[in-house]
Amino acid sequence: MSKQVVHAACPHDCPDACGVLITVENGRGTKIQGDPEHPVTRGFLCAKVAKYLDRVYSPHRVLYPMRRIAPKGSVLNASGTAESADSSQAFGRISWDEALDEIASRFRSIISEFGSEAILPYSYGGNLGALNAASMDRRFFARLGASQLERSICSSAGEAGLISVLGVKLGTEPEQFVHSRYIIAWAANIHGNNVHLWPFIAEARRKGAKLVVIDPYRTRTAACADWYLPINPGTDSALALAMMHVIIAENLYDADYVAKYTLGFEHLREKVKDYPPQTVSQWTGIDADDIRKLAREYATVQPAVIRLNYGVQRSEGGGMATRAIAMLPCITGSWEHVGGGLQLSTSSAFGLNKEELTRPDLKPDDSNRQPRSVNMVELGVALNTLSDPPVKALFVYNSNPAAVCPNHNEVIRGLKRPDLFTVVHEQFLTDTTDYADIVLPATTFFEHKDLLAAYGHYYLQISNQAIDPLGECRSNVELFRALAGRLGFDDACFGESIDQMIDSALRSKNPWLRGIDRQRLEREKHVRLNFGASGSHSDEVSASAAPYVPFLPFARGNFRTPSGRAELYSEAIKALGLHPVAEFKPASESRHGSERKKFPLEMLARKADNFLNSTFSNVPPVQAMEETGLLEINSADARMRGIADRDRVRVYNQRGEIFLRARVDGTVQPGVVSARLNWAKLTPDGKNVNVLTSEKLSDLGNSATFYSVLVEVESAGD
Ligand SMILES: Nc1nc2c(c(=O)[nH]1)N[C@H]1C(S)=C(S)[C@@H](COP(=O)(O)OP(=O)(O)OC[C@H]3O[C@@H](n4cnc5c(=O)[nH]c(N)nc54)[C@H](O)[C@@H]3O)O[C@H]1N2
Ligand SMILES: Nc1nc2c(c(=O)[nH]1)N[C@H]1C(S)=C(S)[C@@H](COP(=O)(O)OP(=O)(O)OC[C@H]3O[C@@H](n4cnc5c(=O)[nH]c(N)nc54)[C@H](O)[C@@H]3O)O[C@H]1N2
Ligand code: SF4
Ligand SMILES: [Mo]
């Protein structure tokens, strides 16, 4: 009998990056729990990861390499439980050697006929470990000369908006929320997507803080807020500009902070004149008096903090919306206060040595050209229309594009192409493996070691391997190492061990990593970045563990924009043809937009609170927590269409249709409907909400616009 407790870190695409303890008995994981010593995630896990043993030891794990033996698109199951039970009808088991040989020979022949850019890697957030997210894979595809993938499906609009003001992705520490007196959850589904922030907010509220939620959807967080402001989707830039209209007109801004640390305040003062509360009320659906009250309270109750999340930027004007909101703490000076500021992302702080990890300098022997880049949001377009060269091979890992990509019907049309060679490295037989020629088995985080940063806090962790890989599973790192060998790439970097790769990731110029090495991470499990006494990036910091001093990234300016100031006016934004301050432009698919006449209802194609994008959709105890197949609709819109609660409805637009059950419970306002993401093949008609979404890109960052979608709904009988 052996029993040990192994420290790991959750690598799912979630801001919390929890510290995890896995109990292992005789080589088998028997218990998973949160690490009580982790200062932010403090000993609990979200409901889905608390059920992780059911995922790791699921009878439906992909455990061996397989080759397709039936036509693409054979749906392996529609029942929602036994997705691999009849995989033998679609796939035949092969050895790793056979799989690697076949991939290598198909790649060689595609390269000789079409060139290496005919090969497209496709990966996203399945695993955020520094090594398994982006290391050996990037080295491999760079050396191969494959097309580059623009990884823009999630956050690039908001990142561009934030960076246009702050120059960097840094924000308020979650621990500091306990000191806040005014908290705005702005497009932030905290109970659903960022649950470890909640205890800090709850503690602040016990001490008298006010929680305001700005969201078109009444989330659980909204339901328990002190003040819930339902906003019309995609109108947040107007709201932020109206708040600044009031704050500036009533002299509630911090003139000292503005003078010292911002650029372009006079331009902002001019611009916000276009956004008086009365006008903005018509766009946002928020009462003008409420806008005034929000602005006054936000500017005068200090410390005030904004938890902004990425919901605000999944719309056509999402970059500008993030930019406008990010200006708020810069004009009130709330960055100076412990418990003030704003958090969208903390990820820039880690500054791992990505160059070493990903080696963008690697190139095919015969090439000096930078390969073309394909936007992952436009996968359907790429597969169906790209030429010169066409996409002839698709290599999917860390992603489930047949579920998560917009305009699903076009994606599927592309994936069905018989001449497209598709490899999918997966833990489960997903919507995407239904179109794979080769399926390869992937480890879970129980089965490999990695280094984990975070985007919702400032702790770095080592995630240790707890158990041996199940079956013949390999991690992303080991898969691409093996493939590099098969293709004869003999660069030394393909031979680096996991520990060497972790060491090189930590060998960085970032002063906040000073004194943090692998050995220390292994010893201490989680280490807060070394911010030194003031947290200023330019400060000399000592190498030893410092006592906790609150990190205030912009208390004394230190913005990382070209001017070194918070850029309320941006030449870079102007160069993109956008208003250099900020402005509200209605999304074309919205109630005020150019396509408003086509379909009357604004749809939020949301994430599920209990799944993680499409991950966990197939895990029975997690399925039991999440009711799928619902269309949330307001009673006024339902009545108008003769729809009652629980009725079957058809939801459609120019791109597709799905059948759902109406839920009429006041979650959404008139004019807005909502449905949630899950595996398409687990629905009766094999389709999910992404049949309705479009591959139109956002104003900044070429990101996806899952929340700028117009639809119509009709009763569908039974
Ligand atoms: N349980 C769970 N957790 C997750 C995920 C998941 O799928 N499930 N996904 C993970 C991933 S990949 C990410 S990127 C993060 C994202 O986490 P969030 O950024 O929180 O992402 P969303 O759920 O897209 O949006 C947050 C909220 O914004 C609201 N919203 C939508 N449109 C608008 C708008 O125009 N204005 C305003 N003010 N609000 C709007 C939505 O209704 C939603 O409640 O969460 C991660 N965590
Ligand atoms: N309608 C709608 N669509 C959306 C969104 C939305 O809110 N609404 N959200 C968007 C957002 S924010 C995001 S981030 C994207 C997410 O898109 P994806 O990153 O594709 O997210 P998942 O659906 O979680 O799929 C990840 C897959 O990776 C696999 N995986 C996990 N770990 C590993 C590993 O170590 N190796 C390999 N090879 N595979 C692994 C999992 O089993 C899972 O099937 O979806 C986007 N799509
Ligand atoms: S998904 Fe998020 S909340 Fe859940 S365990 Fe992982 S990091 Fe923690
Ligand atoms: Mo995301």
- Helix and strand totals (H; E) in the chain: 26, 27
Ligand nearest to the CA of 622: 1
List the residue whose alpha carbon is closest to atom 18 of ligand 2.
Answer: 399
From 396, 427, 606, 619, give the residue whose CB has the most ligand 2 atoms within 8 Å, as the site to mutate.
Answer: 427
Q: Which atom of ligand 2 is nearest to the CA of 129?
A: 35
- pLDDT above 70 covers what percent of the chain? 96
Phi, psi of 3 (to 5 degrees): -140, 130
| Closest CA relative to residue 335, chosen from 172, 176, 216, 450 | 172
| Protein residue whose Cα sits closest to atom 3 of ligand 2 | 404
Residue 459, H or E segment: strand 459-463
Residue 517 structure tokens = 């090495």
Ligand 3 surroundings by CB, under 6 angstroms: 10, 12, 14, 16-18, 45-46, 49, 195, 612
- HSE-up (13 A, CA, CB side) for residue 230: 14
What pLDDT, on a 0 to 100 scale, did the predictor assign at position 532?
Answer: 85
d(CA 321, ligand 1 centre) in Å: 15
Q: What domains sit in the chain, N to C, each tagged with a CATH number?
A: 66-77+85-145+360-508 (3.40.50.740), 172-344+559-575 (3.40.228.10), 601-715 (2.40.40.20)
Question: For 386-437, how does the pLDDT look when each residue is reduced to its tens digit (9 = 90+)?
Answer: 999 999 999 999 999 999 999 999 999 999 999 999 999 999 999 999 999 9
In the chain, how long is the greatest CA-to-CA distance? 73
| Ligand 2 pocket test target in 613, 616, 618 with most atoms within 8 Å of CB | 613
pLDDT value at 541 more than 60: no
Residue-by-residue DSSP string for 644-688: -TT-EEEEEETTEEEEEEEE-SSSB-TTEEEEE---GGGSTTS--
Q: Determine the distance separating the centroid of ligand 4 and the alpha carbon of 67, expressed in angstroms.
A: 30
Average pLDDT for residues 346-369, to the nearest whole number? 93
What is the average per-residue pLDDT within 34-49?
A: 98
Q: Is 445 in the pocket of ligand 2 (CB under 6 A)?
A: no
Cβ atoms of 399 and 128 closer than 8 Å? no
> Rounded mean pLDDT of 607-616?
98
Beta bridge partners of 442: 474
State how far the Cα of 532 lies from the Cα of 539, in Å rounded to an integer. 7
Quick one: pLDDT at residue 367? 77
Do 9 and 461 meet the contact criterion of CB atoms below 8 Å apart? yes
How far is Cα 537 from Cα 532, in angstroms, rounded to an integer?
9
First to last CA, the chain: 56
Block residue for tokens 């399945």: 126
Q: What is the CA radius of gyration of the chain?
A: 25
Atom in ligand 2 nearest the alpha carbon of residue 125: 19
Which of 359-368, 514-523, 558-567, 615-624 has the lowest average pLDDT? 359-368
154 CA from centroid of ligand 4 (Å): 4
Query: What are the pLDDT digits (tens) for 159-171?
Result: 999 999 999 999 9
Mean pLDDT of 75-95: 63
Residue 333, C-beta contacts closer than 8 angstroms, at least 6 positions apart? 253, 254, 256, 257, 258
Looking at the predicted structure, is the pLDDT value of residue 272 above 50? yes
In contact, 44 and 20? CB cutoff 8 Å: no
Q: Is 378 exposed, middle or buried (0-12, 13-18, 19+ CB in 10 A)?
A: buried
